[in-house]
Amino acid sequence: MRLIAALFWLVMSPAYADDLAQLRRPGVPPREVPADAPLTVDPGAVAPPSRDLRYEMAPVPDRWRLVETIGVPDDPWNPYRQSTIKGDRPIYKDYFFGFSAILDTVYEPRSFPVPVGLQSTGNPGDNDAFGRTPSNVLSSSLIISSAIIKGDTAYKPPDFELRFTPVINKNRVEVDEPRLLYPDPSRGTTRTDQFIGLQDAFLDYHIRNVSDRYDFDSIRVGIQPFISDFRGFLFQDNQLGVRLFGTRSNNLWQYNIGWFRRLEKDTNSGLNDAWHEPRHDDVFAVNLYRQDFPVLGFTSQATVLHNRNREGEEGFHYDKNGFLQRPAPIGFERPRDYDVTYFGLNGDGHFGRFNLTASAYYAHGKDRNNPFTDEQADIRAYFAAAEPSIDFSWLRLRLSGAYASADRDPFDRKETGFDAIFENPQFAGADTSYWIRQAIPLIGGGGVALSGRNGMLASLRSSKEEGQSNFNNPGLVLLGGGADLDILPELRFSLNANRLWFADTKVLDTLRMQEGISRDIGWDLSAALIYRPFQTQNVVLRLSGAVLLPGKGFKELFDSFEGNKTYYSVLSNIVLTY
């Protein structure tokens, strides 16, 4: 009854009746308003209404330059403003030009086990197998990327993209022992080098749209980036290839089908040596992604990669410093071919507030020349890794775990040590970690490394860049934890602690002729500060430090007056981006 009374009072009120009289009914002309009638000003309005109801018209050359018409100029120097050089506006019709330049400079003091040269040593009083450990690296890369893109990419794939990215690198290394940088000890303990690599040179062509939601099929030909999984455990590189890719069901399904012929790498910079004949090393890849599976916010991936290596036909390959890279200088040192297929399941996303990245691979294939028996062997190896985390406002807590299988008998007809094609793991602290960042040589067991630079696996390869995969290795077990703290919007502090073991040491026992080497590698502790003073990626300053506290197995491999030494790595990095 109260509601009915309120409505009755509202309808019968004089003010409301007057408002009703002003409303237009069908067929009734609008009421004339005298020219001298006072304007009714709403106190809450931004400005009083105008009697002139005509619209103001302004010419617009095209929809991309609308902001320029209303007073926002083209500003190529301000990262927050639109610019034709950055691809915000077309240079002709719907053709866009994108340009960027990155100066990435690294200074890295470090230490690792160093062998004393057979011919000489930097310390005449030494008669040990191990020399002085400190070294310094200074490396600077200028990355220049340019692209021509056709089409409005705000809501659909480009019609085509042509991209070209050369990289100019200059690096300098200083060590304390001869023969570490060159086989010839007379060449000294300092090396300065420069190189121009080509990291991108591809044409991306949009074949067709397959739905009104712009699901599509595209093809990309040339030197292009490719990653086999979310964290780069198996194959992450910029390589020469052909890739067909696209989406379905409103981007719920995504796929990749690709063939890559691997390029040689420059020895000292790690860049693509596109001026050299490609390697006889092919990678065939098929990836299938499903978003929001098994839960909303989680992406699952199935992948199959086949690596066909025929570099045994080439004979011996030496790097530009003069060291043998293919075949690896262990065992029979005989050129070898192999075929291996990787079957993988990967996932990345979150379950509610819990984040998870996980990968699992099984490797199956044949090695034509086992380094230990010089006979054909079957490859049977596996790998698994997971990194769960949880966020609390400005804090993320992480756990890391990885297992790579080992070869438990190097003289049988099976190779069961897992190795990747070209790993670049963003995991367990990534290159802040000492173990992942540094290449640790297997002194006295051959010219190979326990773990490669920017690699996690203990694969005993001559190098990640120019060597071949090796499935006769001791494997790896990693357990760790870490935290990322966003102290300020522009400042992040990260901590990592990893415990490392070999999965099995039979291969190391054989190579070192040293029975019963312990599996314990030790503790890898690291911390990093990342500072972005303008809260953008245009200026990034990074300082990180890591130490390896050797365990029993590491000490037994490098037992000398340096055997109990704590090895360190300090990484100072400045990235300037235009």
Residue 33 within any structural domain of the chain:
no
Residue 48 within any structural domain of the chain:
no
Q: Rounded to an integer, what distance in angstroms lies between the CA atom of residue 187 and that of residue 180?
A: 10
For the chain, the average pLDDT equals 87
pLDDT digits (tens, 9 = 90+) for 400-417: 999 999 999 999 999 999
* Domain total of the chain: 1
User: Residue 7's pLDDT band (boundaries 50, 70, 90)?
Assistant: very low
User: Residue 178's pLDDT band (boundaries 50, 70, 90)?
Assistant: confident
Residue 53 within any structural domain of the chain:
no
**Under 8 Å between Cβ of 244 and 217:** yes
Residue 67 within any structural domain of the chain:
no
534 burial class (0-12, 13-18, 19+ CB within 10 angstroms)?
exposed
CATH assignment of the domain containing 379: 2.40.160.100
Domain span at residue 208 reads: 94-577
Q: Give me the mean pLDDT over the 132-145 stretch.
A: 92
pLDDT of 17 strictly over 70 = no
Q: Give me the mean pLDDT over the 346-369 stretch.
A: 96
- Sign, Cα dihedral of 170, 175, 177, 180: negative
User: Residue 55's pLDDT band (boundaries 50, 70, 90)?
Assistant: low
Residue 473 within any structural domain of the chain:
yes
Residue 52 within any structural domain of the chain:
no
How many Cβ atoms are within 10 Å of 495's Cβ, its own excluded? Answer: 16
Global pTM value: 0.86
Q: Rounded to an integer, what distance in angstroms lies between the CA atom of residue 328 and that of residue 567?
A: 26
What is the reported pLDDT for 118?
Answer: 55
414 DSSP β-pair partners:
378
Residue 349: what residue type? G
What is the reported pLDDT for 59?
Answer: 63
Residue 304 within any structural domain of the chain:
yes
Residue 324 within any structural domain of the chain:
yes
